[in-house]
């Protein structure tokens, strides 16, 4: 007989109301209060006194919560149990009962990593417990390393990776990308000859993920004939191997367009919540998923996202995917965060209880206290256990400004490694660069435009605890793994955009380190009256809402209608709507328009087409097809460029346009290059699509002055000039021509020769290289080179390569295609006779290079020696 109602399990009955147990909540709240006043040392001055807590009852509740199994909130219960023993461990560090219960709770949560570091002496008391431990540890053992363990939720997600399509989310600290690396390593060890791709949102993450993969695999790369590929120009792609592609969405798209013969068996999309964001780059994810799923050979696709309650939303991108059965949202977190709202406008400090959703006001701060006072206070009072601090700032300018102010009263540490890095920064960038002085004091800032070798060294020294306070921008939110003890959040914005709750939860998840502790502290800091307290509270208090794909949430009805109307006319230069639409919003709308045009013309059933479907009658679809039927150039898979731009480019190259030529001395006529760049401006319509950079027009000067400046930097870059040389010339240009200096966005001052102005010029030049030269111009040159090769068959003078690698030197280009940095290749070129063997005709590196004195070269060699073994004699 069919049953209408199922029987409730014993676990569900026991734990159904435990979250609302008054005594448990009272104990937890008092624990949190006592933890906070000890953290802030308010108990030492008797300003506040501990609340009485029954230690035995607190431990018992932790034990009960850690036993929660088979209930919807079991993961939350186990995390709660960990928080209780973590705070008790902080308050009673020498109590044997607390240590025992900590071991017991971590064992029941299967948090063996935390147990190993925090209570390695813990042993189970009974035979049954020991037998279960042996079983559980064997069950959770990594297939690639039997000495390491999954968390149970990780194991559950991992077991789903064999599915055709799968989407999972978890707290930031759960090691989502770690699972990808383990899975790939397992498959390679099992001799499966597959190609894998990991899509990451930023170039900074390419370096981190690829380096970890190479470190995990080492000699397996050669034994199993695999190569890690990080760019479309990688030397590994010139030979036949199996590949592990670690690419941004743009690079993945360009690779799929360039080489349609490359099969991808597994594609992992890390930080998948970017697909739901208003970031203009979200459209590229739609494109690469569609390009792969419309192939005859379809890959496995796994989406990984932080804290998203409905990870199934990403499966909407995949036609035919079973959305209900192929997703998983993990609630358990191996580390927790304790939150404080610090308001320097009224000098208050409020503790936030995430369980009870309530604030408790602690003792007021002194009137003179500020952000830097708080950071110093927490650092100095914990000198016996130096804490690692991260300080999030909303803009690049404020990041540098706050770091300067914090380090002002500090003295140099005279650490050999830090001093060496400071000297390199002065030599490589500029001898007046603020960052060098900060590094000497164990302080730094982490900004996207920093040269990659410097940024990686800062991250490395932060992990080694040499740098103890790091000021950063949104690069931290985008996945760079720099776990810390204390996080200070000084704004609810990233640039001009406000945080979403997903962004905020992802950011606070960066604090806490399972290798050392079960928790971290987050101080949400209100520095100015103009920053409304309500916005901070909203981010603190709200849970992550169910997510919607950006094509659904970011395009308005009128925008969709406007796109369709213009496509009916065969137009792909879409109008702005509204007229004062931001550049990013317009770019997002434009890319979705190009995506839609491609789908209609080629009859593809995509998620983008579904979104527009209510407005697309059969007559309108036919009208759009007819509008493009007679056009030589139709929308295609490259949604970063429209068909009218490609047609203009085709005609220009057909009529003889080519890159400027270098003479025998390696020089090129500047006016010829300038004319070439302005011709590209007209071809690619930079006035329309790059209005803030390449197409920016100065009404006062009546010229495209920014493009002229970028052209100067471009030439110096491709001719191999070092950063220091480029920056010095930029400063000289301001001085000689009496130009204005941008202090902050939209704020200008006449150049006065001060160190402050020089640092503004340094920042402006580094950002121009990172964003304009290496991203925008590089992408346009790629399109030019590809079209030139399509028409002419080959290209000898490839400026795309010159930009991508920052040199015209063939040896340096070859070495960078093997993943050496630009700085390392310059060192090798200078010592070519010592380290390069040309006896076989092709350059090979001698073993003696492993004894060279260049730290940046030795750093690169750690990965290159495994990924490109044929490069060595």
**pLDDT over 90 percentage in the chain:** 82
Quote the pLDDT of residue 818: 97
SS3 186: helix
The alpha helices in 509-556, defined as continuous H runs, are 533-541, 550-553
**Whole-angstrom distance between the N-terminal and C-terminal Cα of the chain?**
76
Count, residues in the chain: 873
Confidence band, pLDDT 50/70/90 cuts, at residue 71: confident
Question: Which homologous superfamily does the CATH classification assign to the domain defined by 336-541?
Answer: P-loop containing nucleotide triphosphate hydrolases (3.40.50.300)
What percent of the residues of the chain are helix, what percent strand, and what percent coil, each to the nearest 5? Answer: 50, 10, 35
Confidence band, pLDDT 50/70/90 cuts, at residue 384: low
Which residues, at least 6 apart from 676, have a Cβ–Cβ distance to it below 8 Å? 657, 659, 660
Confidence band, pLDDT 50/70/90 cuts, at residue 383: low
Residue 479's CB is within 10 A of a number of other CB atoms, namely 22
Confidence band, pLDDT 50/70/90 cuts, at residue 748: confident
Confidence band, pLDDT 50/70/90 cuts, at residue 1: very low
Which residues, at least 6 apart from 80, have a Cβ–Cβ distance to it below 8 Å? 28, 65, 355
Mean pLDDT of 425-451: 96
| pLDDT at residue 381 is higher than 70 | no
* Alpha-carbon span 821 to 816, nearest angstrom: 6
Mean pLDDT of 542-551: 95
Confidence band, pLDDT 50/70/90 cuts, at residue 380: confident
| Residue whose C-alpha is closest to residue 212's, from 149, 139, 144 | 144
Quote the pLDDT of residue 5: 52
Three-state secondary structure of 426-483: HHHCCCCCHHHHHHHCCEEEECCCCCHHHHHHHHHHHHCCCCCEEEECCCCCCCCCCC
| pLDDT at residue 487 is higher than 80 | yes
Please calculate the CA angle 120-126-129 and round it to the nearest 5 degrees: 70
Classify residue 508 as exposed, middle or buried by CB count within 10 Å of its CB (0-12, 13-18, 19+).
Answer: buried
CATH entry, 152-329, from 3.40.50.300, 3.20.20.70, 3.40.47.10, 3.40.1440.10: 3.40.50.300
Q: In the beta sheet, which residues pair with residue 4?
A: none
Task: Supply the pTM of this predicted model.
Answer: 0.95
* Cβ-contact 486, 339 below 8 angstroms: no
pLDDT in tens, 185-243: 999 999 999 999 999 998 888 999 999 999 999 999 999 999 999 999 999 999 999 99
**pLDDT over 70 percentage in the chain:** 97
Residue 484, CA distances (Å) to 116, 462, 732, 758 in order? 19, 9, 40, 32
* Alpha-carbon span 457 to 530, nearest angstrom: 36
String of b and e for 11-21 (b: at least 16 CB within 10 Å)?
A: eeeebeebeee
| pLDDT at residue 822 is higher than 60 | yes
pLDDT in tens, 638-663: 999 999 999 999 999 999 999 999 99
Quote the pLDDT of residue 242: 97
pLDDT in tens, 560-604: 999 999 999 999 999 999 999 999 999 999 999 999 999 999 999
**Bigger pLDDT: 380 or 434?**
434
Which residues, at least 6 apart from 265, have a Cβ–Cβ distance to it below 8 Å? 194, 195, 196, 299, 300
Residue 656, CA distances (Å) to 282, 397, 604, 791 in order? 36, 44, 36, 11
Residue indicated by tokens 């085709």: 650
Q: How far is CA 765 from the centre of its chain?
A: 23
Quote the pLDDT of residue 477: 67
* Alpha-carbon span 251 to 775, nearest angstrom: 11
For residue 592, give both structure tokens. 């979705």
Average pLDDT, the chain: 93
Q: What's 311's DSSP letter?
A: G
Mean pLDDT of 80-95: 96
String of b and e for 585-605 (b: at least 16 CB within 10 Å)?
A: bbbbbbbbbbbbbbbbbeebe
Quote the pLDDT of residue 140: 97
Which helix (H) or strand (E) is 836 found in, with range? Answer: strand 836-837
Confidence band, pLDDT 50/70/90 cuts, at residue 9: low
The helix-helix angle for 557-568 and 618-629 (nearest 10°) equals: 50
622 conformational bin, left if phi > 0, alpha if psi -120 to 50, beta if neither: alpha
| Residue whose C-alpha is closest to residue 462's, from 433, 438, 428 | 438
């Amino acid at each position: 007989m069919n049953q209408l109602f199922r029987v409730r399990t014993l676990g569900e009955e026991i734990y159904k109301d435990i979250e609302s147990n008054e005594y448990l909540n009272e104990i937890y709240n008092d624990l949190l209060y006592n933890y906070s006043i000890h953290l802030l040392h308010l108990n030492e001055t008797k300003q506040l006194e501990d609340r009485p807590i029954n230690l035995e009852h607190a431990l018992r509740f932790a034990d009960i919560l850690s036993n929660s199994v088979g209930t919807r909130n079991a993961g939350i219960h186990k995390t709660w149990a960990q928080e209780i023993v973590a705070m008790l461990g902080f308050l009673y560090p020498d109590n044997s009962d607390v240590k025992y219960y900590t071991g017991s709770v971590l064992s029941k949560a299967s948090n063996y990593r935390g147990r190993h570091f925090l209570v390695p002496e813990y042993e189970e008391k009974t035979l049954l417990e020991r037998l279960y431990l042996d079983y559980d540890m064997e069950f959770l053992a990594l297939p690639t390393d039997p000495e390491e363990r999954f968390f149970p939720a990780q194991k559950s997600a991992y077991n789903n990776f064999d599915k055709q399509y799968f989407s999972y989310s978890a707290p930031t600290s759960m090691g989502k990308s770690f699972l990808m690396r383990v899975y790939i390593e397992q498959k390679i060890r099992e001799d499966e000859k597959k190609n894998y791709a990991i899509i990451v949102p930023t170039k900074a993450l390419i370096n981190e993920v690829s380096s970890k993969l190479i470190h995990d695999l080492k000699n397996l790369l050669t034994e199993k004939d695999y190569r890690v590929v990080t760019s479309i120009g990688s030397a590994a792609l010139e030979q036949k191997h199996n590949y592990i592609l670690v690419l941004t969405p743009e690079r993945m798209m360009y690779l799929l367009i360039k080489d349609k013969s490359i099969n991808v068996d597994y594609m992992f999309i890390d930080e998948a919540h970017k697909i739901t964001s208003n970031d203009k780059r979200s459209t590229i994810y739609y494109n690469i998923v569609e390009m792969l799923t419309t192939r005859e050979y379809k890959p496995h696709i796994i989406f990984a996202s932080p804290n998203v309650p409905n990870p199934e939303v990403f499966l909407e991108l995949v036609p035919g995917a079973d959305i209900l059965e192929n997703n998983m949202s993990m609630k358990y977190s191996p580390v927790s965060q304790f939150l404080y709202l610090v308001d320097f406008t009224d000098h208050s400090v409020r503790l936030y209880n995430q369980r009870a959703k309530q604030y408790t006001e602690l003792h007021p701060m002194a009137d003179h206290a500020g952000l830097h006072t708080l950071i110093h206070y927490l650092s100095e009072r914990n000198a016996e256990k130096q804490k690692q601090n991260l300080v999030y700032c909303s803009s690049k300018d404020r990041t540098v400004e706050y770091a300067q102010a914090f380090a002002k009263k500090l003295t140099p540490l005279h650490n050999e490694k830090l001093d060496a890095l400071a000297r390199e920064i002065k030599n490589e960038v500029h001898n007046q660069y603020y960052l060098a002085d900060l590094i000497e004091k164990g302080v730094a800032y982490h900004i996207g435009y920093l040269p990659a070798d410097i940024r990686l060294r800062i991250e490395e020294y932060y992990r080694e605890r040499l740098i103890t306070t790091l000021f950063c921008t949104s690069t931290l939110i985008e996945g760079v793994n720099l776990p810390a003890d204390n996080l200070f959040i000084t704004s609810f914005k990233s640039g001009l955009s406000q945080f979403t709750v997903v962004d905020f939860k992802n950011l606070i998840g960066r604090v806490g380190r399972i290798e050392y502790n079960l928790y971290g502290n987050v101080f949400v800091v209100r520095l100015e009256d103009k920053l409304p307290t309500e916005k901070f509270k909203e981010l603190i208090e709200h849970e992550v809402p169910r997510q919607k794909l950006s094509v659904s949430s970011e395009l308005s009805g009128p925008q969709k209608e406007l796109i369709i109307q213009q496509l009916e006319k065969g137009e792909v230069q879409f109008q702005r709507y509204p007229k004062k639409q931001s550049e990013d919003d317009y770019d997002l709308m434009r890319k979705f328009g190009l995506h839609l045009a491609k789908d209609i013309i080629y009859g593809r059933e995509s998620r983008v087409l579904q979104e527009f479907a209510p407005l697309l009658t059969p007559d309108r679809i036919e009208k759009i097809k007819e509008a493009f039927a007679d056009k030589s150039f139709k929308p295609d898979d490259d949604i970063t460029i429209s068909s009218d731009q490609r047609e203009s480019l085709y005609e220009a190259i057909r009529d003889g346009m080519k890159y400027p030529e270098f003479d025998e001395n390696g020089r090129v006529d500047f006016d010829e290059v300038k004319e070439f760049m302005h011709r590209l401006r007209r071809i690619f319509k930079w006035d329309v699509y790059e209005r803030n950079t390449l197409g920016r027009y100065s009404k006062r000067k009546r010229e495209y002055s920014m493009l002229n400046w970028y052209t100067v930097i471009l030439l110096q870059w491709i001719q191999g000039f070092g950063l220091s040389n480029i920056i010095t010339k930029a400063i000289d240009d301001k001085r000689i021509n009496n130009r204005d200096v941008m202090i902050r966005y939209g704020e200008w001052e006449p150049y006065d020769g001060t160190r402050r102005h020089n640092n503004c010029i340094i920042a402006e030049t580094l950002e121009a290289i990172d964003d304009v030269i290496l991203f925008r111009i590089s992408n346009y040159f790629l399109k030019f080179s590809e079209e030139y090769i399509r028409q002419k068959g080959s290209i000898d003078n490839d400026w795309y390569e010159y930009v991508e690698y920052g040199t015209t030197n063939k040896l340096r280009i070859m070495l960078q295609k093997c993943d050496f940095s630009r700085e390392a290749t310059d060192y090798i070129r200078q010592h070519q006779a010592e380290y390069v063997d040309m006896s076989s005709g092709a350059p090979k590196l001698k073993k003696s290079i492993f004894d060279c004195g260049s730290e940046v070269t030795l750093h690169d060699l750690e990965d290159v020696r495994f990924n490109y073994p044929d490069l060595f004699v």
